Amino acid sequence: MIFNPVYSYWALGASTVFLTVIGLVMVFSSSTAKLVGTNQSIWATLARQGVFAVLGYAAFVAVQVVKPSIIEKNSRYFLGIAIGLQALTLSGLGSSAGGNAGWIVVGPLRFQPAEILKFALCIWLPAALLNMKKANRTPLKGIKQVIPYLGPALIFVLALGLVILGKDVGTAMIVVIIGVSAFFVAGFPVRYMTIAGSFFAFLFFMIFIRGSANRWARIQATYGGCSTREAAQSKAICFQALHGDYALATGGITGVGLGNSREKSYLPAQDNDYIFAIIGEEIGFIGALVVIVLIMVMAWSLINLSMRHQDMYMQMVLLCFGVWFAAQSFINIFVVLGVLPVMGLPLPFISSGGSALIMCLAGAGVCFKMAREQEDVRASRGRG
């Protein structure tokens, strides 16, 4: 049953809805503490997130009437727009949050182009790599095997470089994971991918991790500096991780109940990057496990549909989105659990924030549309 693409199709739709609903509930519950004592209603964050959810589902529905071939042909234009917007974050229109210059502010409008960029890469990389393979059918040997990939690789590196220049390490990791997945499936030689990856990873580490006092301190804190309660309480950099641990420990099996979290009054980003800690506190291990299972169901559904799709472009798109959603979800969860240092990545479909939710739902819509084109799914819908 788990290998049946028809079940994966419906599981994809169901997991998308359930994760979004859980997100709306938890955004409301986790955000009330920071709104008390302000001039805003305690419903303000929920109302804003509800608008984003409606816009996201509007995009989800709109994609259903667009042919995958149109998405493929126009993906380069979408990527061009995304790269242009990402470049603007480094201009006067850019705004910083949490040390990352990854936002654009125009009047009351504030959004994160990197979310659009991740979506664009998921639909463009498969198209570019498949077109490259069609244009280069002559077998090559040795280092010459890399030459046909240089065009897509250079554009990908440009997109990645803009994210890195904005100092958004978490998003850069997700972009790399999407890119590596796409190039690997397209047949990029593993040997040269490993060599190039190791070289650039070393440069990235030395310049943007070891060369940044704040990021290096986060790593040291995660893997030693916050290892004891006494040490953690004495260091400001451990504050977020410490209260995340308190939240998870307080929740136990069934949680303290919706709205009853104490740690949401202390945790920074309690409705965003650290919302999983509030989930663990308010609805306990069971609630946290439900979220993890839903993420795994979504990821497996996309991978299974990818493996059983007859169209290579749609195979790769489904895989790219599956890798994006799964990797970002588990990196976020591992940060909250203290396995990874704080990176500022939201939990897909659940954390507050318009850019992330709208683009995740738009991405899920693309996947749902392409899943409908899988032959078994199409046949089952025809019978229905």
Three-state SS string across 236-284, please? HHHHHHHHHHHHHHHHCCCCCCCCCCCHHHCCCCCCCCCHHHHHHHHCH
**What span, in angstroms and rounded, lies between the C-alpha atoms of 220 and 62?**
46
Q: 222: which DSSP letter?
A: I
Contacts of 175 (CB under 8 A, 6+ apart): 114, 117, 118, 121, 159, 160, 163
- Residue 62, amino acid: A
Question: What separation in angstroms does the CA of 229 have from each of 133, 232, 238, 241, 287?
Answer: 55, 5, 10, 11, 26
Residues 322 and 299 sit within 8 Å (Cβ to Cβ): yes
Main-chain phi, psi angles of 239, to 5 degrees:
-55, -50
- Specify the pTM: 0.92
Predicted pLDDT of residue 258: 93
**What span, in angstroms and rounded, lies between the C-alpha atoms of 143 and 200?**
18
Q: Which residues of the chain have pLDDT under 70?
A: 37, 98-99, 137-140, 211, 225-236, 383-384
Contacts of 211 (CB under 8 A, 6+ apart): none
**What span, in angstroms and rounded, lies between the C-alpha atoms of 26 and 280?**
11
Predicted pLDDT of residue 254: 94
Q: E strands within the chain?
A: 94-97, 100-106, 109-111
- Rounded to 10 degrees, what is the CA torsion of 268, 273, 274, 278? 110
